[in-house]
Copies of this chain bind each other. A is one copy, B any other.
Amino acid sequence: MESLKRKIETEGVGVGTEVVKVDMFLNHKIDVQLAVEMGQAFHEAFKDDQVDAILTVEASGIITGMTTAMAFGNIPVIFAKKGERRNIGNDVYTAEVYSFTHQKSNIIRVSRNYLKAGMRVLIIDDFLANGAAINGLISIVEEAGATLVGAGVCIEKGWQPGGDHLRGKGVKLVSLAICDRIEDGKIICRD
């Protein structure tokens, strides 16, 4: 998605060789027009896949989760909640997600009341690096007996293995921008 790539390259800040800082338009101050366009791009990519619901994870996944759901005609969004405890009752699906950024594990959880067998689910998230969050969401979709339509991410870090791992598993993965590297604080996106 050209407008997103240009935004990442002109406004994003690369820190060291690993950190893609885009909180000026994506995950602290939100460029709402861009978020709407990202939702439309995910809809364009998955519009023939009979999506029943969007599944994402709090907090910043909610942003494009919402705009994607709106592009699909206001289908429901379910967002997984994060916590530190695994034992929070039998009425939830859980998965353990290790965050390399924060160097700790979180448990994500989704109520069994809302994610049901047979639902066709599109996973949306803002970032894909090692794929921990999306793999956690996929395991929850599988545990629920729902059908994974695919996954859409705004920004994939191309030098980390999450994207290729998902493609290797046969997941329909749509990354709106893939960052290839950071050079002197500049983020370089793949054409």
Within 8 A of B (CB), among A81-103: 81
Does A104 interact with chain B (Cβ within 8 Å)? no
Interface string of A21-37 (1 = CB under 8 A from B): 00110001111110110
Q: Are B113 and A75 in contact, CB atoms less than 8 angstroms apart?
A: no
Q: Are B81 and A114 in contact, CB atoms less than 8 angstroms apart?
A: no
A152 to B24, CA, bound (A): 24
Contact check: which of B24, B31, B33, B77 meets A29 at CB < 8 Å? B77
A5 to B24, CA, bound (A): 36
- Chain B residues, Cβ within 8 Å of A59: 58-59, 62, 79, 81
Interface string of A41-69 (1 = CB under 8 A from B): 00000000000000000111011001101
- Tell me the smallest distance from the CB of A149 to a CB of chain B, in Å: 17
Does A3 interact with chain B (Cβ within 8 Å)? no
Does A17 interact with chain B (Cβ within 8 Å)? no
- Chain B residues, Cβ within 8 Å of A60: 58, 62
Does A4 interact with chain B (Cβ within 8 Å)? no
Contact A78/B114 with A59-B58, A62-B59, A62-B62 known, Cβ cut-off 8 Å = no
A66 to B69, CA, bound (A): 12
- Chain B residues, Cβ within 8 Å of A114: 24, 28-29
- Tell me the smallest distance from the CB of A80 to a CB of chain B, in Å: 9
Q: Are A76 and B31 in contact, CB atoms less than 8 angstroms apart?
A: yes
- Chain B's closest residue to A23 (CB) is B111
Q: Are B81 and A28 in contact, CB atoms less than 8 angstroms apart?
A: yes
